[in-house]
Chain A
Amino acid sequence: MSIFPTRRLRVARGPWLESYGLLLPGLIFLAVFFVIPLCLMLMLSFTVPSLGLEHYRTLFFTSAYRRIFANTFLLATLVTAVSLALGLPVAWFLAIAPRRWSQPVQLVLILSMWTNLLARTYAWVVLLQDTGPINQTLLALHLIAEPLPLMNSLFAVTVGMTYIMLPFVVFPLRNRIAMLEPALFQAATLCGASRMTSFRRIFLPAIATTLGSAGVSVFVMSLGYYVTPSLLGSESRMVLAELIAQLVQSVLDWGLAGAAALVLLVMTLFLYGVQRRLNRQPHTTP
């Protein structure tokens, strides 16, 4: 008997158990350890302390909370924009450069991905603090009179999070670009297209879906990010994840925390839906 599949699984055919049976252990695990606790948490937002939509009214109509939503969106937008802007050239470089040039860059990216998240975030604290190398160098060069307030700012959080998100942009894009048929661009050139035209009319459309899905994943991950904003950010620019943590750990307001979590989840699912729709392009469906 072969240990490899001998036929393609046709999900639509055969008895339900035969088609989906293999999924059951995983589904049960997910249900017990993820779906049920999550639902319980979300339920709390409607039931504690009393039945109703009170928590949602508080979230949407309190200016402090609305500012937190705004902060979260601004941060996610900034991180996504910067990640795409920096990631595309890197991915492009990795896809076209000779191995001896691309491999060191790739190694740096992978090593940093494997490094502990907290260590990577604290590394930015070391770099950005008032007595850190950046401020010290600028001071020594007499370019500034006082240390720049780099830490605990939107700048610090954006930099720290972009650094963490970059691989999620670079690797999918690198793969996509490397898969493109070189003759496509030679043909465009012979057709009379300049480099700029080829870039706009051929290259960008070819990588658009990958660019879009990378952007959405970075945006979604950024929306719920906790570690970097709490270590590098400022109290005045609190984001949604920090709010949830605070509500659960300090205030013990599980109902409001559940409401904030549900809002975050709904936004995420909505963006996922948008991305799915965008990916459905006529030329990819035969």
Chain B
Amino acid sequence: MTAFLSIRNLHKSYHGNVAVQNVSLDIRKGEFVTFLGPSGSGKSTTLYVIAGLMSPTGGDVLVNGRTILDVPSNHRNIGMVFQKYTLFPNMTVRENIAFPLVVRKRPRDEIEARTNEMLRLVRMEQLAGRYPAQMSGGQQQRVAIARAMVYEPEILLMDEPLSALDKKLREEIQGEIKRVHERTGVTILYVTHDQEEALRLSDRIILFNTGRVEQIGTCTDLYTSPRSRFAGQFLGNSNFMPVEIMDAAAGTIRLPGGACVENVRICDSGDVDHPLLMMRPEDLTFRKAGDCASSFDGQVRSSYFLGNVMNYEIGIPGDYTLTMRVYIDGTEHPPQTGDRVSVGWLPHKAIVFR
């Protein structure tokens, strides 16, 4: 497979601080890829280097096998939507969308046609004559998407474009972005720190941490097979507990209470000092007391209702707290705060990082 967009050993430091180190990626044409990571993990910096708004201190960025680092950013033909509202305040919606084509000195009727097409694509025909100050944040970002797409760039970069919007609006525009992607087939690189947004939108997620790529994979890959404690922690709120590995080949571990469990996946992660067992909150279930080795006896510390699921904090011996998420079907009586409970877990779904 020859990659459409390749990043080779990218390195960026400023004032002695390393923002990106040794990042290498291959991205296929038409892919929707999300750069996910906490703030300061280098995901935005990588995006800005691709846009040409920052120059790297090392490495290369290739499109179709050719470097683009020597192309000035106004000639890269890359679209970008920013976190900040960047519509030109002195221009109407229509003028904003037409701007890239006007700059490129395209014929007037082509500008007219393309602008109308983009207005339709983001469903803003009604507001074409408005000025940015007369619109909501969500509307402005939709126009910004249209403006970034009007000149048919091969790559669309999005730097946390929805982080200033409320949840409902965010989901609506996520749908809009999905639709734009499906209709145009543009390659999208999307930066976010919101795991839910990443899971909802992307074909592949590239997980960033402290300037490096932590893991690359599909949403399912990253969720079910995190290769490091960081990946397990960042996607999905997981429970962690130090354990001892008795037999790595058989996946036998010993829990803090002394019980031994078999068939646990062991993963070499490199970001733990001591073997650490990870259990997803949704993989924990209530059981009858003393059922088997893979269960903990504890007490409900707190619980809260999330619509179709209950979230429980369970205190277990050794001063650990387990977070669990349980579906409520209405037939059983769910445990209350203070109740003694037994919590079971599934060894084959748990992972031990070492």
Is A286's CB under 8 angstroms from B133's CB? Answer: yes
Cβ-neighbour of B74 out of A193, A206, A284, A286 (below 8 A):
A193
- The yes or no answer to B274 lying at the interface (CB within 8 A) is no
Q: How far is the CA of A283 from the CA of B129 in the complex (A)?
A: 11
Is B86's CB under 8 angstroms from A183's CB? Answer: yes
Is B51's CB under 8 angstroms from A190's CB? Answer: yes
Cβ-neighbour of B88 out of A192, A202, A282 (below 8 A):
A202
Q: Which residues of B contact A191 (CB under 8 A)?
A: 74, 99-100, 103, 147-148, 151
- The yes or no answer to A137 lying at the interface (CB within 8 A) is no
Output the least CB separation between A77 and chain B (Å). Answer: 27
Identity of the chain B residue whose Cβ is nearest the Cβ of A194 in the assembled complex: B74
Is B134's CB under 8 angstroms from A188's CB? Answer: no
Residues 19-53 of B contacting A (Cβ, < 8 Å): 51-53
- The yes or no answer to B73 lying at the interface (CB within 8 A) is yes
| B65-101 contact mask (Cβ, 8 Å, vs A): 1 or 0 | 0000000011111111011111011100000000110
Q: Which residues of B contact A281 (CB under 8 A)?
A: 90
Task: Give the A-B pair count, Cβ closer than 8 A.
Answer: 75
User: Dominant SS at the A interface?
Assistant: helix
- The yes or no answer to B104 lying at the interface (CB within 8 A) is yes
Is B103's CB under 8 angstroms from A193's CB? Answer: yes
Is B86's CB under 8 angstroms from A187's CB? Answer: yes
Q: How far is the CA of A189 from the CA of B78 in the complex (A)?
A: 10
Q: Which residues of A contact B79 (CB under 8 A)?
A: 190
Output the least CB separation between B70 and chain A (Å). Answer: 16
- The yes or no answer to B56 lying at the interface (CB within 8 A) is no
- The yes or no answer to A201 lying at the interface (CB within 8 A) is yes
Q: How far is the CA of A191 from the CA of B133 in the complex (A)?
A: 20
Q: How far is the CA of A205 from the CA of B96 in the complex (A)?
A: 14
Q: Which residues of B contact A283 (CB under 8 A)?
A: 89-90, 131-134
Number of contacting residues on B, CB 8 A?
A: 31
Number of contacting residues on A, CB 8 A?
A: 23
Output the least CB separation between A203 and chain B (Å). Answer: 10
Is A183's CB under 8 angstroms from B84's CB? Answer: yes
Q: How far is the CA of A286 from the CA of B100 in the complex (A)?
A: 25
Is A206's CB under 8 angstroms from B90's CB? Answer: yes
- The yes or no answer to A181 lying at the interface (CB within 8 A) is yes
Is A189's CB under 8 angstroms from B74's CB? Answer: yes
Output the least CB separation between B278 and chain A (Å). Answer: 38
Residues 251-286 of A contacting B (Cβ, < 8 Å): 281-286
Q: Which residues of B contact A183 (CB under 8 A)?
A: 82-84, 86
Q: How far is the CA of A192 from the CA of B151 in the complex (A)?
A: 9
Is A184's CB under 8 angstroms from B103's CB? Answer: no
Q: How far is the CA of A184 from the CA of B88 in the complex (A)?
A: 7
Identity of the chain A residue whose Cβ is nearest the Cβ of B150 in the assembled complex: A191
Given A183-B82, A206-B90, do A189 and B131 touch, yes or no (CB 8 Å)?
no
Q: Which residues of B contact A193 (CB under 8 A)?
A: 74, 99, 103
Is A189's CB under 8 angstroms from B104's CB? Answer: no
Given A186-B82, A190-B80, A286-B133, do A197 and B90 touch, yes or no (CB 8 Å)?
no
Q: How far is the CA of A268 from the CA of B100 in the complex (A)?
A: 42
Q: How far is the CA of A187 from the CA of B144 in the complex (A)?
A: 9
Q: Which residues of B contact A187 (CB under 8 A)?
A: 80, 82, 86, 144, 147
Is A205's CB under 8 angstroms from B86's CB? Answer: no
Cβ-neighbour of B148 out of A189, A190, A201, A284 (below 8 A):
A190
Q: Which residues of A contact B151 (CB under 8 A)?
A: 191-192
Output the least CB separation between A152 and chain B (Å). Answer: 45
> B77, B82, B148 — which one has the most chain A CB atoms within 10 A of its CB?
B82
Output the least CB separation between A41 and chain B (Å). Answer: 43
Is B75's CB under 8 angstroms from A192's CB? Answer: yes
Cβ-neighbour of A284 out of B75, B104, B133 (below 8 A):
B133
Q: Which residues of A contact B133 (CB under 8 A)?
A: 283-286
Identity of the chain A residue whose Cβ is nearest the Cβ of B95 in the assembled complex: A201
Q: How far is the CA of A186 from the CA of B52 in the complex (A)?
A: 10
Is B84's CB under 8 angstroms from A192's CB? Answer: no
Q: Which residues of A contact B131 (CB under 8 A)?
A: 282-283
Chosen A-B contacts, 17 in total, with CB atoms closer than 8 Å, are A181-B85, A181-B86, A183-B82, A184-B84, A184-B86, A186-B51, A186-B53, A186-B82, A189-B53, A190-B53, A191-B103, A192-B103, A192-B151, A193-B103, A194-B103, A201-B99, A202-B90
Closest A-B pairs by Cβ, 7 of them? A187-B86, A283-B131, A205-B90, A191-B100, A183-B84, A190-B80, A192-B103
Which residues of chain B have a CB within 8 Å of any CB of chain A?
51-53, 73-80, 82-86, 88-90, 99-100, 103-104, 131-134, 144, 147-148, 151
Which residues of chain A have a CB within 8 Å of any CB of chain B?
181, 183-184, 186-194, 197, 201-202, 205-206, 281-286
